Amino acid sequence: MSTTFGALRIPNYRRYAVAQAVSLSGTWMQRVAQAWLVLELGGSGTDVGLVTALQFVPLLVLGLWAGVVVDRVDKRRLLVVTQLAAALLALALGLLVATGTVRLWAVMVLALALGVVHLFDNPARQTFVLEMVGPGQLANAVTLNSVTVNAARTLGPALAGMLIATAGTAVCFLVNAASYLLVVAAFTLMRRDELEPSPVVARAPGQLRAGLAYASRTPEVRAPLLLMAVVGTLAYEFQVVLPLMARFVFDGSAATYGVMTSCMGGGAVVTGLLLAGRNRSGHRSLRVSAQLFGASILLAAAAPTLALELVVLVAVGAASIAFLSLANTTVQLSTAPEMRGRVMALWSIAFLGTTPIGGPLVGWVSEHLGPRIGLALGGVATIVAAAALARPRSVPGQLPPVPLLEGSRR
């Protein structure tokens, strides 16, 4: 038990984790409500994918530049700004829905604006975890973060389904706006002398190119980033395909979609707690976890009934958290501190910034060939990419990577 929750013994991380648990539940409420709102406004599966994709267009286009900025600034202060901005955007969408003035184009504009916030928030958040806990507790903190995300995925969509059915979608957006304020308070109250800040990199020409070159020549970084790019593009499009599965395959409602998402979250929470005490990373484990993730997605695509689908989605969530935790930890511990902001910006691009490509694609496939095919596409892509990319290969003249923590390899 002490190893499972080791990072929570650190006061700064404990404050952050508690606030995140509440805020992420609000975030998942908004995601469910937003997808359902698009359908209520007459949107199609492609429109659901487009709105989802717009949140990540800035990350895809400007993500590495944002990583350069993150390397140059105080991460804690930057995160306070991004949380306040996200709160204002959620408040604006909630008020538009509550007053009956919301239009599909407005949902798209606000989704794009949120993407600008994520542009800086994602790499800053990834690197700030290491500043709070240090390298010795990074694997545990990353896994606990994933547990928190998926616990929120369990609670948030279920609450969203109930609120949409009883009070409408506006309440989901307003609750999410309020939840961001807890995270702002957590960052503000942190003990700064207990942080382990990364070095602030002085402004200099060529820093963006240097980040790309570093990631390219370091196989321990390059291989998981490439794998994550494929998986992020085609597999992590559940926001697009699950509402379509709920509505058109199982003839369900927003509550059905909420339960499906919650089952994924429940599987991830249980598995994450089992994995949290294991300080592991490395490419062999990553390859196996990716293949299991892909196989579970294929099973979800083939499930003949809603009851069986819910059972399989628990397995999808379990495999997802194992894969994400291993990939994130392997990348961070293999990266030089002065490059971490840029490398984690590339991670954010691979994981989230690929959504503008994958979201509309998976939405189109789901609309024209069926949601089951859209889901299966991600499973096949994950298995193939894991077999092809997870084993790092040396590049002539490369610099040696930063060694992983002792005992982190199998």
**For position 344, what pLDDT does the model report?**
84
363-398 pLDDT, tens digit per residue, is: 899 989 999 999 999 999 999 999 887 455 544 434
**For position 178, what pLDDT does the model report?**
94
346-371 pLDDT, tens digit per residue, is: 888 888 778 778 888 898 999 899 99
For residue 106, report the phi and psi dihedrals to the nearest 5 degrees.
-70, -40
**For position 295, what pLDDT does the model report?**
96
**For position 395, what pLDDT does the model report?**
44
**For position 241, what pLDDT does the model report?**
92
Alpha-carbon distance of 239 to 260, in angstroms, equals: 11
Lowest model confidence (mean pLDDT) among 117-131, 238-252, 269-283? 269-283
- Average pLDDT of the residues in 401-409: 33
- Is residue 71 within 8 Å of 201, Cβ to Cβ? yes
149-184 pLDDT, tens digit per residue, is: 777 777 887 788 888 888 888 999 999 999 999 999
Higher local confidence (pLDDT), 400 or 236: 236
On the question of pLDDT at 406 being above 50, the answer is no
**For position 292, what pLDDT does the model report?**
94
On the question of pLDDT at 25 being above 80, the answer is yes
Alpha-carbon distance of 243 to 139, in angstroms, equals: 32
On the question of pLDDT at 125 being above 50, the answer is yes
199-258 pLDDT, tens digit per residue, is: 777 777 788 888 889 988 888 888 889 999 999 999 999 988 998 999 899 988 878 887
On the question of pLDDT at 312 being above 50, the answer is yes
- Average pLDDT of the residues in 127-140: 81
- Average pLDDT of the residues in 294-322: 94
**E-strand spans in 248-322?**
none
Q: What is the CA radius of gyration of the chain?
A: 20
Look at the alpha carbons of 327, 331, 332, 334 in this order and tell me if their dihedral is positive or negative: positive
For residue 74, report the phi and psi dihedrals to the nearest 5 degrees.
-75, 120
Percent of the chain's residues with pLDDT above 90: 33
| Centroid of chain to Cα 228 | 11
- Is residue 340 within 8 Å of 332, Cβ to Cβ? yes
Higher local confidence (pLDDT), 285 or 393: 285
Helix (H, G, I), strand (E, B) or coil at 403: coil
Helix (H, G, I), strand (E, B) or coil at 410: coil
- Residues making up the chain, counted from first to last: 410
- Is residue 51 within 8 Å of 43, Cβ to Cβ? yes
**For position 385, what pLDDT does the model report?**
92
Chain mean pLDDT for the chain: 84
Instruction: Write the Ramachandran bin of 249: left for phi over 0, alpha for psi from -120 to 50, otherwise beta.
Output: alpha
**For position 139, what pLDDT does the model report?**
75
Query: What is the C-alpha end-to-end distance of the chain, expressed in Å?
Result: 22
* Placement of tokens 């598995």 in the chain: 271
| Helix residue ranges, H only, 134-282 | 138-166, 170-188, 207-217, 219-234, 238-244, 254-275
Question: Six-digit token pair at 75?
Answer: 């991460």
Alpha-carbon distance of 286 to 62, in angstroms, equals: 28
**For position 261, what pLDDT does the model report?**
83
52-68 pLDDT, tens digit per residue, is: 778 878 887 888 888 88
- Is residue 298 within 8 Å of 183, Cβ to Cβ? no
**For position 391, what pLDDT does the model report?**
52
**For position 408, what pLDDT does the model report?**
30
- Average pLDDT of the residues in 186-194: 89
Higher local confidence (pLDDT), 208 or 79: 79
On the question of pLDDT at 51 being above 90, the answer is no
Query: Three-state SS string across 132-167, please?
Result: HHCHHHHHHHHHHHHHHHHHHHHHHHHHHHHHHHHC
Alpha-carbon distance of 18 to 186, in angstroms, equals: 9
For residue 390, report the phi and psi dihedrals to the nearest 5 degrees.
-75, -20
Question: Six-digit token pair at 264?
Answer: 């994924």
**Residue 276 banded pLDDT, cuts 50, 70, 90:** low
- Is residue 21 within 8 Å of 151, Cβ to Cβ? yes
**pTM exceeding the 0.75 threshold for the entire prediction:** no
Where do the domains of the chain lie, and which CATH numbers do they carry? 6-191+207-389 (1.20.1250.20)
Percent of the chain's residues with pLDDT above 70: 92
137-149 pLDDT, tens digit per residue, is: 777 887 788 788 7
> 70: Cβ–Cβ under 8 A, 6 or more apart, which residues?
78, 120, 123, 124, 127, 341, 342, 344, 345
